[in-house]
Structure 1
Amino acid sequence: MDTAARVLRLLSLLQTRPVWDGPELAARLGVTTRTVRRDVTRLRSLGYPVEADAGHGGGYHLGHGGRLPPLLLDDDEAVAIAVGLRVATTTTVSGVEESAIAALTKLHQVLPVRLREQVAAVAGSTIQLPRGDLPSVDAEVLVVLAAGCRWTEGIKFTYRDHAGQESQRSVEPLRIVHTGRRWYLVARDRDREAWRTFRIDRIVGPALTGQRYSFDDPPDPVALVAEGTAVVPWEIEARVLVHAGAEDVARVVPAGDGVVEAVDASSCVLRFAANDLGPLVAYAARIPWDFDVLAPAELRDAIHELGERLTRAGRHVAVGNG
């Protein structure tokens, strides 16, 4: 392997893991640790911020540089990024569309013809449904929240509830969850000493506080958002025992539509809610597995009545005009 190829291989390895020690890299590249040190120096001269930590547990890793160096992507990664950028041009994150288009243009300039054809094939075969009047999320707000999650740093912001009332919040962010329709921040509210979910389109003026924290027993952020969007806001909660594994059911039921709780390997409890029985009956009718209604009793009666009505309708024979 010549020097240029080896240096590129070293860069590729550094991008796949947070930290590599010298002997590991030397073994992967088939060279000595001294050669690894020389190749690291070459990468630094090209603008790659390769950092080295001495001592036990230390090693080489890519740090944060003053400018963004070139990235090495394999074919699948390049196609995935190009397709993702196309989707980002119609995202609900405001301020991202123009940047996504600019990045996509740059990527297409360097994509080999065979990869451009793959991206074009995916794009030409895909139609995105109109998103209606879903609220957009400010990209700068999203960046601040993501930084808080990554660096476990507290955030303060103004929050508008569904009625438009504003309150000041000081939180310890855990994770950002995207349901496919809306973005949510899962965080521990310091003043209320409780876990909360915040719709990100209702967050105004977030700022990092510099206060660090740690979590002893954080909740599952996806489960918390599912509970807060699929069950809590509604008046009537339904519970059904589904005769299928929780993993299979979770693949079909979006997190924002219901909460799936495992019972054993072949059954689970599905919880969903609405403000009246009609939507609950319609929801239950779409469950593609056998199930038993656990609660409420009114839902069980309504499903039974619907079943009888459908059975009678199935027995009717259309009468022609002769």
Structure 2
Amino acid sequence: MPQLLRVGEVDIVPLLEWQGTFITRGTLLPSSDAAEWSDNASWLDPTFWSAQTDGVPLHSRSYVIRSDGQLILVDTGIGNGKNRPQVPPFNGLDTDYLSRLCDEIGDVEAVDVVINTHIHQDHVGWNTRLVDGQWRPTFPRATYLLPGADYEEWNRSRGSDAGADEVFLDSVLPVVDTGQASFYTGERVVDQNITIVAAPGHSPGSSVVMIVSAGESAVITGDIVHTPMQLAHPEQHLVFDADPVRAVSSRRTVLAAVADAGSIMLPAHFGRAGGLWLTRDGSGFSIAEWVPLTAE
């Protein structure tokens, strides 16, 4: 049964697409301290890290939001049937994600807005699906909100990275070609409860989604963090960060705002479902409490 989080008058449902391990701690966070992870194995292992293999279990997760009369989908995961040889577990993926999404929302035509927090293969995949041999927008009525800086960068660099080109061609351009794309930069108000806020570094247009309603708040943090250990050490950059210096700055800014406002943090990739409250802890942050999800 889907799990629900209510923030003021906004309903949020996390939707898991995929879970598994394809990368080690040392590769994901090149500057991380192996001994410190071992010292924290009591709570990291096995949900967030395997002490035996050094692997980091990750989730691919979307968020379904009902707000101000709209149905909004934040990030669309990996997608089915996409050619992704660079990450073998994502290559030719075949899951029941879309059927479970439709169980939740009724039909793909119910989606009013799709928000991509950034243009990476595991956040734009279900923007499209294969129909009669062509990649078509999965959500025919939706406006797709895409980060303009990412689009410009990927479009400019076409031809330099075959893997990136494939993602661009099969999951981004089809929604542009149908006129469904709308590009955002900086801050973009989606409705009275939801605002997209820039958090560049992981990618040029990397962003977070802020939900504020009836005195409560939450932040969908996209890829500013991949593991809870980055909460304690925001300075540890991801191997996937395009600009590590800006990514660290954005991570610190967002995490501080989440902790100071008492907002719920909603991560994309943590190996556990649910939101969490943060507290400041020295030069970093720690998990004060996990937010329980309730059955719909």
- TM-score range (shorter-chain normalised) is under 0.3
Structure number, greater radius of gyration: 1
Structure with more relative contact order (C-alpha pairs < 8 Å, separation 6 or more)? 2
User: What TM-score does the superposition give when structure 2 sets the normalisation length?
Assistant: 0.23
Greater share of residues in strand: 2
Taking structure 1 as the reference length, the TM-score comes to 0.21
